[in-house]
A and B are shown apart, each in its own frame.
Chain A
Amino acid sequence: MTAADPDRSMPRADDPIAEVRNLTVAFEMDRGQSRVVDDLSVDIERGEILGVVGESGSGKSMFASSLMDAVVEPGVASGDVTYHPPSGESVDVLELSKGELQELRWEEVAMVFQGAMSSFNPVRTIRDHFVETLSAHDYNVSDGLERARELISDLYMDPERVLSSYPHELSGGMSQRVLIALSLILDPELLVMDEPTAALDLLMQRSIISLLDGIQEKHDLSIVFITHDLPLVAGLADRIAVMYAFEMVEMGPTDELLTDAAHPYTRALLNSTPNLRAPIDRMRSIDGESPDPVNIPSGCSYHPRCPMADEQCREVDPEPYRVDGDHAANCHYWEEAAEAVPAVTEEFDDAGEMGAAATERTPERRSGEPVLSMDDVEVYFEQESSAFSLFSDPDDVKAVDGIDLDVYDEDVVVLVGESGCGKTTLGKTAIGLQRPTGGVVEYRGQDVWQARDLVGDIDIPYEEIRQSLQIIHQDPGSALNTHRRVRAVLETPLKRWYPELDGNDRRERILGMLEYVGMTPPEDYIDRYPFQLSGGEMQRIALIRALLINPELILADEAVSALDVSLRVEMMDLLLELQDTFDTSYLFISHNLANARYITEKADGRIGVMYLGELVEIGSPERIINDPKHPYTQALRWATPELDPDDDPGERPMRKIDIPDAANPPSGCRYHTRCPEAREACRHQRPELVEAEGEEPGYQQAACFREYEDHEYWDSEPITDEDDADSVDSGTGPGTAEADD
């Protein structure tokens, strides 16, 4: 086996269900041919779960589509995709006729798409979707529906209720699970999942992942699981293939790839992925950007970003080198990669130690007058009522329900929670963009809304408050007006707040800021339109725009979650660096505990956990991560995947997967419907935030009766699922128990 022959040195499966050879997907564009998959070869073993990991735009979705020859027009897939059915002739998928393709799709190879909601027809019931699929493939409908019921209940949902509902009646997590059931209805051999959980919350992601394992075994499936989130598949996949710049750069068994990656990109990606355990000061993002599909670098496509690139890398495209066994890497110098890009995880010992230095000064720093203080803030949204319900009571959605939170100078607070828990609403209320329906928001002691309405004694005029509280949005693409150049975007705040600056001053200040955030040469960027910028660059512009007027507090609403994994750490570092320069406080919003941990630990901040409009726990990152007191925080902690092949999620610490309706939240402690520790007392009484036991004040507070020393909770009966009439679509132990085998 020589490195010269790619086919030889690539790990071959003994019994492949699909073989992909020299697959290329190309689009003809104005500016040249865009190769979104470039000469890719891979084997998919029968019965394995292959995780395909790549950043956005690395061609992974196109790879998925070509497995079913479903590349969208005008893309053209060439090469060989050979499918080997369990019995009978092997077929070349790309050569099939329309009729043959229809037989292959869904009956042999099925696919689960990313946006479950848009995969369903909103005017047809779920049952119709199953019936349609069955009859399109001439299957027996009643047998098929029986199978559908079984699949749905395997996924912890009530089959009858789900089948008769319309897509909008299902939550995001439920419709994603229904989509999985729908993909399995014709008993396919190979299931291709393209980011099946990307749109879902952490808890739901983890729950679905733990269900998948069981499903795979039960139905004897081979699964190709495509994701951008390496930790997510770490516990699930048998093998992982890493895609970079439209080709596979490394492939190997999961544990080997995670502990002993041979490609510098994989190693760098592992180092840049925030997780809960790796020491934060050693995480690095990868410099540079992924290449453009029209203009792939010659030689090794990673060489512009690789620390060990040399002449050979620039000129010769590396073939797969056999590392050992099934592990191969497309790198000329794979043997030296471990030295050139040392793993951050290598020498960490105890997770508890790392934040020790920061902990010491935590409570003292938060003395003095807070920049922003929220007292018993409530935001209720009235639901649109139709003309006929004019006289009934309006159904309020309690987006934020009685939250107290103080943010101090140079403070960092991260709000974590599932979508719909009210964290964005709370954030916008904090910076005065959303008027609270109750409670007080104060900026340095001045009631923000009184200042706005010119009521009472005003110490700080609203103008100044407005200048002091700024926002960075989640999606950099929509945060910048597509019709305005960088210069115009950034001049707007300057003109408003520094009218004394003339045009050339403004230009120079903008150039200086651009350069400061690493957009060099700034003259190149200043006249660009947003579409000429990458996601990371757009987010930097949004950040500069907020900083230019020198605010005191910036709300960063999921500011990094739209960026590529390899850029997130860099962006968070930039935010913190700018905090030092500008003395700003940050209120971050995140659904990702790993990102929250990274930023708070680095900045010595706090993590606040929200659930259904309430703050259930708040504390320093090391307390929240290592010793969560509230059962919901424990669940979040459970749901955050680790970069560890042996990462065993354990039993799901929740009684139900699905989140209750925010318009009609449970009484008492809102988490009691899902809480494994819930007792009768939780149904009726609402716990307040109290200092966690055994801690100095100021480190950690939780709103759970278990933190109360003496409470009737301790004497009341535990709530079990039998008590809950509507617990059908929940799952206790059984599923996870099998799944964890």
Chain B
Amino acid sequence: MTEKPTDRRADDKESSDDVEEVFGEPTAADGGTPIDGGTAAPFRTTSDVSESRTDRYRRIFRNYVVTPFSIVRNDKRALIGITILTIYSLAGLAAIFFVEPTESFEGQPYVQPFETWEFPFGTNQMGHDLFSQTVHSVVPIFQMMIAGALFTVIVGTTIGVVSGYKGGLADRVLSTLTDVFINLPGLPLVIVLAVLFNPENEVMVGILLSVAAWAGLARSIRSQVLTLREESFVEAARAMDIPTSLILYKEVLPHLMPYVMVNTANAARGVIFSAVGLYFLGILPFTSNNWGVMLNQAYEVDAYFRPIAFHWLIIPVVAITVLSIGLILLAQSLDRVFNPRVRARHADRADIDPEEEEGDATMTMGQV
């Protein structure tokens, strides 16, 4: 069985020595130009030049950054989404270094927004700087959002993919678990848990808020995997004895990515909304200033019918809404990144798949 490949292997090495002098011009290898005559003999494989490490990194960069970016660049939704998220992130980071946390009676109470440059968003009843409060909320909110979204998507996708693909007992157990979580009343559960654990860490808050959110995702991913697993290419991979984890990762997951991306954005929004809601209701402990806390405080002083305090309510609402819109736009545009037709149009011909990089370790072995 293995004789033939071994023989070919021996041939490979000879001819790879022949072209050794070309070593050092790695771009020739990915330029698609036939360098040696190896292709003339059909089953004798010959390796030409080896790739340098920088070259491989360049390929990873091209595959994961350049191509997605060039796709996204032509998409208005993506541009708006990215701009919004960038502004938020910059504001959040800048806040840490440049904006002092506000103190009581820093300014006059109820300075209206855009009146003075000292308090661009105005101040509240206690003379707190609302701008400072707003930008200082970004980091904790982002922490919650990212933790919650990642938790939802990772747990949901993993459970959905595994139960859909494996079937049998694994499916029954995981599906039952999913059903249980789907049927849990989400908000009351979160409230009870919040009271029980009184989480102060933002990451914990994020995960706590998504504790039941993954189940819906898992269920719909499972149903998609059920059809994907019957596809011929999955069966072919099984026939080639490709490990299940690789089949799931390489063959099944790419088909789910657009859906997963949109769900990531939705999960992130879900976390923001429920976090703000629970802070507003005063259920989560006020450990840091954030938009939910601002809303709560504004509500306490009846800002909704006092024009003088109105901006206190409006500012966090606008901050939340714009962030949510940015997330949705970005997620929608990301499905183009995973569309092979679009990818092919944007990638230059020399561009290659990420699989290439996995050959790294074996390649070094092969050349010993």
- Which of B34, B255, B367 contacts A523 (CB under 8 A)? B34
| B contact residues around A496 at 8 Å (CB) | 240-242
Within 8 A of A (CB), among B43-73: 43-51
Shortest Cβ gap from A389 to chain B (Å) = 20
- If the complex has contacts A502-B366, A515-B39, are A527 and B5 also in contact, measured as CB distance less than 8 A? no
Asked whether B168 is an interface residue with its Cβ less than 8 Å from the other chain, the reply is: no
Q: Is the pair A542, B366 in contact by a Cβ cutoff of 8 Å?
A: no
- In the bound assembly, the distance between CA atoms of A508 and B29 in angstroms comes to 10
Shortest Cβ gap from A533 to chain B (Å) = 11
Asked whether B197 is an interface residue with its Cβ less than 8 Å from the other chain, the reply is: no
Asked whether B183 is an interface residue with its Cβ less than 8 Å from the other chain, the reply is: no
Asked whether A298 is an interface residue with its Cβ less than 8 Å from the other chain, the reply is: no
Asked whether B349 is an interface residue with its Cβ less than 8 Å from the other chain, the reply is: yes
Selecting from B200-208, B271-279, B300-308, B352-360, the interface stretch reads B352-360
Q: Is the pair A549, B238 in contact by a Cβ cutoff of 8 Å?
A: no
Shortest Cβ gap from B26 to chain A (Å) = 10
Selecting from A57-65, A228-236, A484-492, A706-714, the interface stretch reads A484-492
Selecting from B86-94, B119-127, B214-222, B228-236, the interface stretch reads B228-236
Q: Which of B32, B45, B237, B356 has the most CB of A within 10 A?
A: B45
- Which of B232, B238, B355 contacts A478 (CB under 8 A)? B232
Asked whether A531 is an interface residue with its Cβ less than 8 Å from the other chain, the reply is: yes
- Which of A463, A473, A512, A522 contacts B241 (CB under 8 A)? A463
| B contact residues around A468 at 8 Å (CB) | 1
Asked whether A255 is an interface residue with its Cβ less than 8 Å from the other chain, the reply is: no
Main SS class of interface, A: helix
Q: Is the pair B42, A505 in contact by a Cβ cutoff of 8 Å?
A: no
Q: Is the pair A504, B50 in contact by a Cβ cutoff of 8 Å?
A: yes
Number of chain B interface residues as a range:
35 or more
Asked whether B196 is an interface residue with its Cβ less than 8 Å from the other chain, the reply is: no
Shortest Cβ gap from A468 to chain B (Å) = 7
Q: Is the pair B43, A512 in contact by a Cβ cutoff of 8 Å?
A: yes
Asked whether B188 is an interface residue with its Cβ less than 8 Å from the other chain, the reply is: no
Q: Is the pair A508, B233 in contact by a Cβ cutoff of 8 Å?
A: no
Within 8 A of B (CB), among A472-512: 473-475, 478-485, 487-488, 491-493, 495-509, 511-512
- Which of A491, A505, A550 contacts B1 (CB under 8 A)? A550
Contact with B along A462-476 (1 / 0, CB 8 A): 011011111101110
- In the bound assembly, the distance between CA atoms of A391 and B264 in angstroms comes to 44
Q: Is the pair B363, A549 in contact by a Cβ cutoff of 8 Å?
A: no
Shortest Cβ gap from B257 to chain A (Å) = 8
Q: Is the pair B340, A483 in contact by a Cβ cutoff of 8 Å?
A: yes
Q: Is the pair A469, B239 in contact by a Cβ cutoff of 8 Å?
A: yes
- If the complex has contacts A504-B51, A527-B349, are A512 and B44 also in contact, measured as CB distance less than 8 A? yes
- In the bound assembly, the distance between CA atoms of A504 and B22 in angstroms comes to 14
Q: Is the pair B240, A505 in contact by a Cβ cutoff of 8 Å?
A: no
- In the bound assembly, the distance between CA atoms of A581 and B44 in angstroms comes to 13
Contact with A along B77-120 (1 / 0, CB 8 A): 00000000000000000000000000000000000000000000
| A contact residues around B235 at 8 Å (CB) | 433, 471, 473
- In the bound assembly, the distance between CA atoms of A464 and B8 in angstroms comes to 19
Asked whether B338 is an interface residue with its Cβ less than 8 Å from the other chain, the reply is: yes
- In the bound assembly, the distance between CA atoms of A507 and B49 in angstroms comes to 11
Shortest Cβ gap from A190 to chain B (Å) = 40
| B contact residues around A139 at 8 Å (CB) | none
Asked whether B74 is an interface residue with its Cβ less than 8 Å from the other chain, the reply is: no
| B contact residues around A348 at 8 Å (CB) | none
Q: Is the pair B242, A487 in contact by a Cβ cutoff of 8 Å?
A: no
Q: Is the pair B32, A523 in contact by a Cβ cutoff of 8 Å?
A: yes
Shortest Cβ gap from B14 to chain A (Å) = 12
- In the bound assembly, the distance between CA atoms of A545 and B243 in angstroms comes to 16
- In the bound assembly, the distance between CA atoms of A474 and B235 in angstroms comes to 12
- In the bound assembly, the distance between CA atoms of A592 and B4 in angstroms comes to 35
Asked whether A513 is an interface residue with its Cβ less than 8 Å from the other chain, the reply is: yes
Shortest Cβ gap from A563 to chain B (Å) = 15
Shortest Cβ gap from B227 to chain A (Å) = 11
- Which of B16, B240, B255, B340 contacts A531 (CB under 8 A)? B340
| B contact residues around A527 at 8 Å (CB) | 32, 349-352
Asked whether B12 is an interface residue with its Cβ less than 8 Å from the other chain, the reply is: yes
- In the bound assembly, the distance between CA atoms of A530 and B340 in angstroms comes to 9
Q: Is the pair B38, A513 in contact by a Cβ cutoff of 8 Å?
A: no
| A contact residues around B356 at 8 Å (CB) | 487, 503
- Which of B33, B39, B246, B350 contacts A508 (CB under 8 A)? B39
- If the complex has contacts A484-B250, A488-B353, are A509 and B45 also in contact, measured as CB distance less than 8 A? yes
Asked whether B169 is an interface residue with its Cβ less than 8 Å from the other chain, the reply is: no
Q: Is the pair B367, A512 in contact by a Cβ cutoff of 8 Å?
A: no
Asked whether B245 is an interface residue with its Cβ less than 8 Å from the other chain, the reply is: no
Q: Is the pair A492, B338 in contact by a Cβ cutoff of 8 Å?
A: no
Asked whether A596 is an interface residue with its Cβ less than 8 Å from the other chain, the reply is: no
Q: Is the pair B254, A481 in contact by a Cβ cutoff of 8 Å?
A: yes
Q: Name which residue of chain A comes closest to B255, CB basis.
A: A483
Q: Is the pair B1, A492 in contact by a Cβ cutoff of 8 Å?
A: no
Q: Is the pair A485, B1 in contact by a Cβ cutoff of 8 Å?
A: no
Q: Is the pair B242, A502 in contact by a Cβ cutoff of 8 Å?
A: no
Q: Name which residue of chain B comes closest to A504, CB basis.
A: B47
Shortest Cβ gap from A720 to chain B (Å) = 43
- In the bound assembly, the distance between CA atoms of A356 and B1 in angstroms comes to 34
Asked whether A431 is an interface residue with its Cβ less than 8 Å from the other chain, the reply is: yes
| A contact residues around B236 at 8 Å (CB) | 471, 473, 479, 542, 545-546
Asked whether B336 is an interface residue with its Cβ less than 8 Å from the other chain, the reply is: no
- If the complex has contacts A527-B349, A545-B236, are A513 and B43 also in contact, measured as CB distance less than 8 A? yes
Contact with B along A523-548 (1 / 0, CB 8 A): 11011111110000000001001100
Shortest Cβ gap from B341 to chain A (Å) = 6
Q: Is the pair B240, A549 in contact by a Cβ cutoff of 8 Å?
A: yes
- In the bound assembly, the distance between CA atoms of A513 and B362 in angstroms comes to 21
- In the bound assembly, the distance between CA atoms of A103 and B208 in angstroms comes to 64
Q: Name which residue of chain B comes closest to A505, CB basis.
A: B47
- Which of A479, A502, A542, A546 contacts B363 (CB under 8 A)? A502
| B contact residues around A511 at 8 Å (CB) | 34, 38-39
Contact with A along B323-359 (1 / 0, CB 8 A): 0000000000000001011011000011111011011
Q: Is the pair B355, A470 in contact by a Cβ cutoff of 8 Å?
A: no
| B contact residues around A516 at 8 Å (CB) | 42-43
Q: Which of A471, A483, A493 has the most CB of B within 10 A?
A: A483
Q: Name which residue of chain A comes closest to B365, CB basis.
A: A500
Shortest Cβ gap from B103 to chain A (Å) = 54
- In the bound assembly, the distance between CA atoms of A431 and B365 in angstroms comes to 33
- If the complex has contacts A473-B232, A500-B366, A505-B366, are A464 and B48 also in contact, measured as CB distance less than 8 A? no
| B contact residues around A507 at 8 Å (CB) | 29, 47
- In the bound assembly, the distance between CA atoms of A94 and B66 in angstroms comes to 49
| A contact residues around B352 at 8 Å (CB) | 485, 487, 527
Q: Is the pair A502, B38 in contact by a Cβ cutoff of 8 Å?
A: no
- In the bound assembly, the distance between CA atoms of A481 and B139 in angstroms comes to 40
Q: Name which residue of chain B comes closest to A529, CB basis.
A: B340
Shortest Cβ gap from B213 to chain A (Å) = 27
Q: Is the pair B340, A464 in contact by a Cβ cutoff of 8 Å?
A: no
- If the complex has contacts A506-B359, A532-B344, are A550 and B239 also in contact, measured as CB distance less than 8 A? no
- Which of B16, B242, B353 contacts A485 (CB under 8 A)? B353
| B contact residues around A522 at 8 Å (CB) | 39
- Which of B44, B232, B353 contacts A484 (CB under 8 A)? B353
- If the complex has contacts A503-B359, A512-B42, A527-B349, are A431 and B239 also in contact, measured as CB distance less than 8 A? yes
- Which of B49, B340, B364 contacts A482 (CB under 8 A)? B340
- Which of A479, A491, A512, A531 contacts B355 (CB under 8 A)? A491
Return the 3 tightest CB-CB contacts between A and B, nearest first. A502-B363, A509-B45, A503-B359
Can you show 5 pairs from A to B with CB atoms below 8 A apart? A479-B232, A497-B240, A512-B44, A521-B34, A545-B236
**Chain A residues in contact with chain B, CB under 8 A?**
431, 433, 463-464, 466-471, 473-475, 478-485, 487-488, 491-493, 495-509, 511-513, 515-516, 521-524, 526-532, 542, 545-546, 549-550, 581
**Chain B residues in contact with chain A, CB under 8 A?**
1, 4-5, 8-9, 12, 16, 29, 32-34, 38-39, 41-51, 231-233, 235-242, 246, 250-251, 254-255, 338, 340-341, 343-344, 349-353, 355-356, 358-360, 362-367
